[in-house]
A = this chain, B = another copy of it.
C-alpha cells in the first residue's frame, strides 16, 4: 500500500501531523507493506528565495493580526508539537521559500533518503536557531546528515531546474486531488485524510484502505493481471498479449 503525504517544510501542522501519522503507522500490523512517499506543496509558492521574514512579522503583516496574536498562535502550535514530543522554537523562527528544499527532497527520494532528510529539515526549521532559508550550505549540511553526498546535493541546489519539474508536478497533483491545505494524506489514491488528525483517524484510514486495496482489473482483449496479489502469471491470463518475459518473447497464436 502506498501513502502519499503532501506537506511543506514551513507548515507546523505538517510537522505535527507526520508524528501523529507515524504513531498510527508504527502500530499498524501491515506497516512493512506500506510505502510512504512525501510530496511537495508550497504554502507560499510566490516567495523569492532571498525574501526572508520572521514568522511573527510575516503572520502579522499577511493576516492583519497583532504581533502578540501571532506569537500566541506560535505558542499554541508549540504546545501541540510538544504533545507529540517534538521540539518547537516559538520565537525567532524565519519564514521563506521552501522550493529548493522540495527539490532536494525529490533528489533524496531518488537516493532512498527522503524520510531522513524531511525529518532533519523539519527539525532544523522548527527547532534550531540557524535559519534554513536562502542558505545553500545549511541545506548541504542537512543533506549530508541525511546520508546524501554533499557535493551532489550542492549540485542540485546550484541548478535551479534540477527536480523543479517534480515539485511542480506534485503541486498540480495536489490541486487535482482537491487539496488546498497541508498536510494532506492519500492512501492508495483511494482515501484522503486532510490535516494533522489524531493518530486514531490515521489508524482507521490505514485499516480501511488496506481492506480495500485496489485490484487491477484486466481490460478484455488484454491479458492484464486480474489480481495483483495472487501471484498469477500475467502472461497466462486473458487471451494472450504479446509480451517478453524472463523466458523470451512470446508470439501468441491468433
Contact = CB atoms under 8 A, between A and B. Distances in A.
A77 B10 CA distance: 54
Contacts of A233: 180-181
A53 to B, nearest CB: 14
Interface in A203-254: 204-205, 208, 214, 216-235, 237-238, 240-252
A62 B248 contact: yes
Contact of A77 (B230, B247, B249): B249
Interface size class of chain A, counting residues whose CB lies under 8 Å from the partner chain: 35 or more
B228 A176 contact: yes
A245 B194 contact: no
Interface string A74-116: 0011001000000000000000000000000010001110000
Interface stretch (A11-19, A119-127, A129-137, A138-146): A11-19
Contacts of A230: 178
Contact of A235 (B181, B192, B193, B197): B181
Contacts of A222: 185, 192-195, 197, 201, 205
A16 B241 CA distance: 12
B191 A245 contact: no
Contacts of A219: 191-193, 201, 204-205, 208
Given A165-B111, A165-B112, A177-B228, A241 B204 contact: no
19 contacts: A10-B244, A12-B244, A178-B227, A178-B229, A180-B246, A181-B233, A181-B235, A181-B244, A182-B243, A182-B245, A184-B243, A192-B216, A193-B222, A194-B237, A195-B223, A195-B252, A196-B241, A197-B242, A208-B219
Given A179-B234, A192-B222, 5 more contacts: A12-B249, A180-B235, A180-B245, A182-B244, A194-B223
